[in-house]
Structure 1
Amino acid sequence: MSSNSELSSSVCSSGDGYDSNNQFDDFWTSNGFCHESPSDQQWYVPAELMGIDDMHFDMVSAAYHLVEQPKSAYQEEDPEKSLESEICELLGPNNIKSFHVTFPYFEIINGDQPSKLQPCYKGEQITEPMDEEEAMVGGALSTEEVMKIAAAHYIQLSTDREGESSILMHPMGLTYAGLNDDEIKKVELAGLLLAAAEKASNQQYDRSSNLLGECMALSSSTGNTVQRVVHYFADALQERIDRETGQGSSIGWKNSGVPAEDVIRGLRSNHPIQLFVHQKLPISQLLDCTSVQTILENVDLLTRVHIIDLSIKHGIQWTILMQALATRSTPVEYLKISAVGSSEKPISETGKRLMDFAESLNLVFDFKPVIIPDIKELKEDMFEIEDDEVIAVYSAFDVNVMLVKPECLENLLRVIRRLKPCVMTVADVEANHNSPNFITRFTESLFYFSAFFDCIDSYMDEDDPYRMYLEGHDFSQGIRSIVATEGEERIVRHVGIGVWRSFFGRFGMVEVELSEWSQYQANLLVKQFNHGSSCNLGRNGKSLIIKWKGTPLHFISAWRFN
């Protein structure tokens, strides 16, 4: 057991050396992926290969229904849902009338530390927490906690106000005991954003725009995390108003003539950003290491391994797999990775680095780019499968992307099923940003991105250029899509593991339990990072949930075909 943990620690941990002028090679070297002989250590991965049958499965257009009715399996969506009711559902199970008595926010304003500030999510609840350390670091409020306090203020004011009175008429209507001046300013700024969202949802666009003007004046893309979150949400909300009123010049993706899939592909194709984020954030390494460990356990003792990566990026995770295969007791005859993508140059560059690394380990390795303009054109014969190969499929943030084009998702699962993989790992966003109700999407995405911005703030400086790009380009595009657009223009449609579990079941996919060893490795990895106690691990069914200060951000799951 000790040798396993040591190897996992050395391979999965992040290093400090990073040169932006040579980000690829220096990153690989600084993280232990240097061109040296394999270690004498052995990676023990006990598991049994799961049998796959070849039963016939009648494909239906299930993906279409997933896009249009993401929650139909759990509850009906209320098209008239108000901001107040949505906040109450997210913050706790109590209704508005009893809200002020039970919501833990009042533990904060009375100067007490809350036991936990965690929203009540619809569908399956996260259970069996694996890390019970509290989320709060140094007593300071997190960005999401600020948003929740503002939401609690908003609820209190909304239940008492009459006629046209608004949150701005009661700036000190509730006590701020226990909060310092800086925290009070953050709460009031978040309150302005919530008021603007309510006005926009009620089509009171002039009033909403006035509030958004105040938000933009008090927020900044370079300020603290609350100011940054408010800045991007206010900007997206103003764009929504411009679209609804026909004023200004909308810069929506459809009007720009750029296909939706190209926009999403661009959000994920910046390799220097991806490498830097992987180095800095524990979440990225948790996703990769846990997924790779699950694949290793399912190809244990097998000698001819074929990995299909549905959207290969920097490829760092495959160096972990290579080192494990090169040092295990049963030699591997060869490893093949088929990398699916639409642009040959970046894929080939990643393949060249992986080829060099495999050579340093004396590992027989083949890298095959599978270049297709659209995933709906994917076919089984593009992978050149050999009879004696065992296949594993790796998907990281691919299935949610395809919600915008259900036919692509259907075709992908049809092809994968015919390939008969021993396992398919799926890692993606654990959130519901696909509700047809605007207020629901706005509120849930506000809490989600607040937690993510807070995570980034813990590991990157405010003026870090990579952080500025990540927030100002990738995250802001996602926020704009969720908040500003509707219908086919809304290309970001995240749904969580509960919805995917129901959806995958329609395609004959069976969820596989993640091993205790992979969970142990994940906990070990978290502890190597500063602020590791803020990165919590939990379970939802058989899937692993990665949380930041109690808020679910991503899930990792494993599947086989029935």
Structure 2
Amino acid sequence: MQLVRIGSCSRLQGLAEAWRKLQETESRLVSFAKGFRNLVFEFHGLVRGSKLVKPKKKKNETVAVNLVFHMNSLNSSSKISETLKFVYSLCPSVVVLVEQEGSRDTHRFLPRLESLHYFAAIFDSLDDCLPLDSAERLSIEKNHLGKVIKCVINPDTDNDCCPRFEKMETWKRRMESYGFLGIKQSSKSVMQAKLLLKIRSHSSPVNLMEKTMQVSESERDEGQAISLGWQERFLITASSWCCNVR
């Protein structure tokens, strides 16, 4: 989870599993920020499990919360509830939610089978982006996909590192129940997503209709989500939210 506050300076608060990851993130961001002469940059890291402390908001600051693959790492409804309540209490101008689509309940046979189809689609999609002998691809398959698939096949309720995927419709209901409103994705966001995918896609054309790697503006949610899919299967979905101030 990342909390970005934009005003006279850019202050970012990051949450990660280990302090080493926070240090690596801080180093990359500080290096990137040096390219902007008039930008004052601050980074504050929290190790996952630490108590969430509400930061003080300065005058004229804009708060944005970036939840990229964070919510599926929370292994209980109470932790999800605590996180969303905390985010809402910050009154952010925008909350970006990015999650992999799947089934959280991998203890039953059918959801587990659905998860295996999901990962099969991911492996197929890699053929479009990386050659079989690519060191980057081998690293992705061994160090990331392999570990996650092992969790899905042999679910361990005590394993906090095993992600619990859910469908976009589930996250939509949950976000709305905690007081958030969906924001329609801008045409610029969709165009940028297509451009980035086109840069990474090699053997197959980017096409919204054909069964190839695709970025599609999700019609199921009136354009409030952008989904990355393979052969009509949604893999990753990004959506934007704001607080429903009543």
TM (norm. structure 1) is 0.38
Match of 1:521 in 2: 192
Match of 1:5 in 2: none
Counterparts of 1:15-164 in structure 2, within 5 Å, are none
* 1:535 correspondence with 2:213: yes
Match of 1:338 in 2: 13
- The residue type paired with residue 343 of structure 1 is A
Match of 1:389 in 2: 61
The CA deviation at 1:479 is: 1.4
* 1:350 correspondence with 2:9: no
The CA deviation at 1:487 is: 4.6
Q: Distance in 2 between matches of 1:498 and 1:347?
A: 31
Q: Distance in 1 between matches of 2:63 and 2:43?
A: 14
* Structure 1: runs of 5+ lacking an equivalent: 1-307, 311-317, 319-324, 326-331
Q: Distance in 1 between matches of 2:112 and 2:77?
A: 23
The CA deviation at 1:523 is: 2.4
Counterparts of 1:376-415 in structure 2, within 5 Å, are 377-380=51-54, 383-402=55-74, 404-415=75-86
The CA deviation at 1:466 is: 3.0
Query: Which SS does the other structure have where 1:348 is aligned?
Result: helix
Query: Which SS does the other structure have where 2:34 is aligned?
Result: helix
Query: Which SS does the other structure have where 2:85 is aligned?
Result: helix
Match of 1:544 in 2: 226
Q: CA-to-partner distance for each residue in 1:413-451, whole Å, 9 max, x for gaps?
A: 12111111001000110222525521x123212221111
Q: 1:471 aligns with which of 141, 146, 150?
A: 141
Which protein, 1 or 2, shows the higher relative CO under an 8 Å CA cutoff with sep ≥ 6? 1
Q: Distance in 2 between matches of 1:341 and 1:527?
A: 30
Judged with a 3 Å threshold, the aligned counterparts in structure 2 of structure 1 residues 362 and 422 are, in CA distance, closer, same or farther, namely same
Q: CA-to-partner distance for each residue in 1:455-487, whole Å, 9 max, x for gaps?
A: 112222323333223212321221122122265
Query: Which SS does the other structure have where 2:71 is aligned?
Result: coil
Q: Contact between 1:348 and 1:369, CA under 8 Å: does it hold in 2?
A: no
Q: Contact between 1:441 and 1:482, CA under 8 Å: does it hold in 2?
A: no
Q: Distance in 2 between matches of 1:527 and 1:349?
A: 28
Q: Contact between 2:8 and 2:40, CA under 8 Å: does it hold in 1?
A: no
Which has the larger displacement, 473-482 or 348-357? 348-357
Query: Which SS does the other structure have where 2:120 is aligned?
Result: helix
Q: Contact between 1:344 and 1:369, CA under 8 Å: does it hold in 2?
A: no
Q: Contact between 1:434 and 1:493, CA under 8 Å: does it hold in 2?
A: yes
Judged with a 3 Å threshold, the aligned counterparts in structure 2 of structure 1 residues 334 and 399 are, in CA distance, closer, same or farther, namely same
Counterparts of 1:263-278 in structure 2, within 5 Å, are none
- The residue type paired with residue 21 of structure 2 is P
Match of 2:132 in 1: 462
Q: Distance in 2 between matches of 1:408 and 1:431?
A: 19
Q: Distance in 2 between matches of 1:504 and 1:411?
A: 12
The CA deviation at 1:488 is: 4.7
Q: Distance in 2 between matches of 1:460 and 1:364?
A: 36
Q: Contact between 2:94 and 2:240, CA under 8 Å: does it hold in 1?
A: yes
Match of 2:209 in 1: none
- The residue type paired with residue 423 of structure 1 is V
Q: CA-to-partner distance for each residue in 1:375-411, whole Å, 9 max, x for gaps?
A: 5x2121xx34323211000111011111x13332222
Judged with a 3 Å threshold, the aligned counterparts in structure 2 of structure 1 residues 532 and 427 are, in CA distance, closer, same or farther, namely farther
Match of 1:309 in 2: 2
Query: Which SS does the other structure have where 2:70 is aligned?
Result: coil
Give RMSD over aligned pairs. Answer: 2.5
- The residue type paired with residue 49 of structure 2 is D
Query: Which SS does the other structure have where 1:537 is aligned?
Result: strand
TM (norm. structure 2) is 0.83
The CA deviation at 1:554 is: 0.5
- The residue type paired with residue 397 of structure 1 is F
Match of 1:132 in 2: none
Query: Which SS does the other structure have where 1:388 is aligned?
Result: coil
Q: Distance in 1 between matches of 2:30 and 2:195?
A: 29
Share of identical aligned residues, percent? 20
Match of 2:37 in 1: 362
- The residue type paired with residue 515 of structure 1 is S
The CA deviation at 1:499 is: 0.7
Counterparts of 1:231-246 in structure 2, within 5 Å, are none
* 1:553 correspondence with 2:225: no
Question: Which is higher, the Rg of structure 1 or of structure 2?
Answer: 1
Q: 2:117 aligns with which of 437, 442, 447?
A: 447
Judged with a 3 Å threshold, the aligned counterparts in structure 2 of structure 1 residues 477 and 357 are, in CA distance, closer, same or farther, namely closer
Judged with a 3 Å threshold, the aligned counterparts in structure 2 of structure 1 residues 365 and 340 are, in CA distance, closer, same or farther, namely farther
Match of 1:49 in 2: none
Query: Which SS does the other structure have where 1:360 is aligned?
Result: coil
Judged with a 3 Å threshold, the aligned counterparts in structure 2 of structure 1 residues 339 and 552 are, in CA distance, closer, same or farther, namely same
Query: Which SS does the other structure have where 2:83 is aligned?
Result: helix
Q: Contact between 1:395 and 1:427, CA under 8 Å: does it hold in 2?
A: yes
More helix per residue: 1
More strand per residue: 2
The CA deviation at 1:370 is: 2.7
Query: Which SS does the other structure have where 1:520 is aligned?
Result: helix
Judged with a 3 Å threshold, the aligned counterparts in structure 2 of structure 1 residues 479 and 345 are, in CA distance, closer, same or farther, namely closer
* Structure 2: runs of 5+ lacking an equivalent: 207-211
Q: Contact between 1:372 and 1:378, CA under 8 Å: does it hold in 2?
A: no
Q: Matched residue pairs, number?
A: 231
